[in-house]
Amino acid sequence: MGEQTPLPNALHPSVVDRLDPQFAEIFTKYQAPRVQANQVSYEEYNKDRSKYTFQICPGPYPEVGDIKIYKVPVPDPNGEIDVQVFFPTENAISKSGLQNKDGKFPAHVNYHGGGFVIGNLKTDESWCRQTCQALGCIIVNVDYRLAPEFPHPIPLTDSWAALKWTFSKADELGIDTSRVSVGGLSAGGHIAAGLALMQRDDSSMPKLVLQLLVVPAVDTRFMPLEGPADPNVPYESYIKNEFAPCLPLDRLRWFYQLWLGTDMEARKKITQDWRASPILASSHANLAPASLHIAGVDTLTSEGIAYHEVLKKAGTPSTLKVYEGVGHPFGHWDGELEKGKEYVQDTITALRKAYTV
């Protein structure tokens, strides 16, 4: 028998013993044999994005009452983005009991992940459908523009425009403006954290009831242009989880180079600003309550935990759950992964609590 071809992305020895066995099995079956986008040039990736971006054992896709796509204008540069709105079925509405006496519904505005470079409206579709039906709420799913064609801060400003649009169209969509939350996974978590800061500082905007932050990036200052992170980096997971499955340091570096650029002098200024590093905001007081969901074997583990502590210290209510033994995208693997299923139920519970006022 011939020798087996090595897997392009086999689990690294530094993490094998710390991984949940089920997560490791799923990763080795579906992810390890595939080349990742960061392992080819951006030009090669862009020729056939589907070759490098694929879903792994996603959860169910329950039928919803309706789905509509809206074209939303965005500035700087002027353009438009798609915003997808999920409406629950009548049965889900009657079961949830969250519709108010005026017939309005709570709404969650979702921002997908993908390092500000990849991802689209399909990325979180399973979670959006499940949450819409479980809570009888409206889900607003935002397809913000992506780097490198639209680098920082365009994904954030697009997302802000989408949030303002949601409030402006509340009557048309049937949204109760006193029960709106924001959230997202990874880059989407970064965006949601930034929007919570922007909403607090804009007196014309209604208050948000929750910021749902899932494996968020919140501090972009410490990513080197090449090589390992500085041993003195304040986030242990940059060192301990350098070779984490799914989002090793090299993949995070690739995203940051396309999103923030490769001119390190320019990047130093960008990353000192709270729009790139929400943890550096001058104040984290009086923000919407936060619900953080962190992967235990992830380059971003320490950042998420640190943001929870910063919020609490500032007096902003924050809850934290670390899902030990799993990597960055575990929440998307709820078709098979038990901790992914647990995560979905945890986020639904957090939103239900926020909407029950």
Instruction: Give catalytic status of residue 328 as yes or no.
Output: yes
The DSSP code sequence of 122-191 is: TTTHHHHHHHHHHHT-EEEEEE---TTTS-TTHHHHHHHHHHHHHHHTHHHHTEEEEEEEEEEETHHHHH
Distance of CA 293 to the CA centre of its chain: 10
> Catalytic: 152?
no
**Which of 159, 186, 277, 291 is flagged as catalytic?**
186
From the list 328, 332, 334, 346, the catalytic residue is 328
Is the alpha carbon torsion for 223, 224, 226, 227 positive or negative? negative
Which one of the listed residues 158, 219, 298, 334 is annotated catalytic? 298
- In sequence order, what are the beta bridge partners of 109? 140, 182
In the annotation, is 186 catalytic?
yes
φ, ψ (nearest 5 deg) of residue 245: -65, 145
The DSSP-derived string for 209-269 is SEEEEES-----TT--SSSSPPTT-S-THHHHTTT-SSS-HHHHHHHHHHHH-S-HHHHHH
What residues are annotated to the active site?
Answer: 186, 298, 328
